[in-house]
């Protein structure tokens, strides 16, 4: 005899956007590029976004201005997200101003070209620190600050599992970040928090795209016929932050238009 089906609560009411209105988000490395696109995408769904950046005040101001007509709101916050003191102060500020943090997107990264046979040790460990420190230093506080349904999403790249010339430091840092995502996913799951990563390939940054020849080659090999745009990845991150993504835990979701199937 079959056991009776378990009773399930009704699905939550759907909203016009992917996310329930009024969520509070922190996006690191958000003054330009992919981070800016993520901050813009989350604000489109009515989030209040803390836009963290390290150096460029003008770029941060432009990012805030570009989102001015969107439903949510933005607070730019300048500081080194690698610093435990800065991060703790920022999380304290978010607690004081909003009472909770619903979404953390860790996008901040740098790029120091180097080869394994001639590594630059200080820049290499700087990249590893930037990849790992925010989640390592912030995990305990985030567990207390995030309500059930909280989302942590880290941005990774194909260099975490492919060997790319001169990409040693970033590749090692992203590989470590993906592994940290898995460990944090297990420890934060009992709090109702999901931890995942989104990985992508070379991004189409328009006129700022590095090495147009390689970019053109990769675009031609992508089944979708073009390089991935920052907005493509931002949409996937928003999907992982939606209530319906609650059962995706500790995964690395690849958003590259299928390039990884052929590259």
Start-to-end CA span in the chain (Å)? 51
Point out the residues that are catalytic. Answer: 167, 174
Task: Decide if 15 contacts 21 (C-beta within 8 A).
Answer: yes
Element of type H or E holding 135: helix 121-145
Helices (H), the chain: 33-44, 57-66, 84-98, 121-145, 168-188, 212-221, 230-241
Parallel/antiparallel/unpaired status of strands 103-106 and 151-157 = parallel
Rounded to whole angstroms, the Cα distance separating 97 from 86 reads: 16
């Amino acid at each position: 005899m079959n056991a009776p089906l378990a009773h399930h609560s009704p699905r939550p009411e759907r909203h016009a956007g992917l996310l329930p209105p009024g969520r509070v988000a922190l996006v690191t490395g958000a003054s330009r590029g992919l981070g800016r696109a993520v901050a813009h995408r989350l604000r489109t769904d009515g989030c209040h976004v803390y836009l963290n950046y390290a150096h460029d005040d003008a770029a941060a101001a432009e990012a805030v201005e570009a989102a001015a007509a969107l439903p949510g709101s933005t607070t730019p916050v300048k500081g080194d997200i690698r610093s435990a003191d800065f991060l703790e102060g920022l999380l304290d500020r978010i607690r004081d101003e909003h009472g909770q943090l619903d979404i953390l997107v860790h996008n901040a990264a740098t790029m120091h070209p180097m080869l394994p046979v001639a590594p630059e040790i200080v820049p290499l460990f700087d990249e590893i620190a930037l990849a790992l420190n925010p989640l390592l230093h912030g995990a305990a506080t985030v567990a207390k600050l995030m309500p059930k349904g909280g989302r942590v999403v880290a941005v990774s790249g194909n260099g975490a599992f492919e060997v790319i010339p001169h990409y040693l430091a970033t590749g090692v840092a992203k590989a470590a970040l993906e592994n940290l995502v898995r460990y944090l996913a297990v420890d934060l799951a009992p709090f109702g928090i999901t931890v995942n990563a989104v990985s992508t390939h070379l991004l189409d940054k328009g006129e700022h795209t590095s090495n147009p020849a390689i970019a053109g080659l990769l675009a031609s090999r992508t089944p979708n016929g073009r390089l991935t745009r920052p907005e493509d990845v931002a949409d996937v991150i928003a999907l992982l932050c939606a209530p319906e993504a609650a059962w995706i835990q500790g995964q690395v979701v690849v958003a590259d238009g299928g390039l990884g199937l052929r590259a």
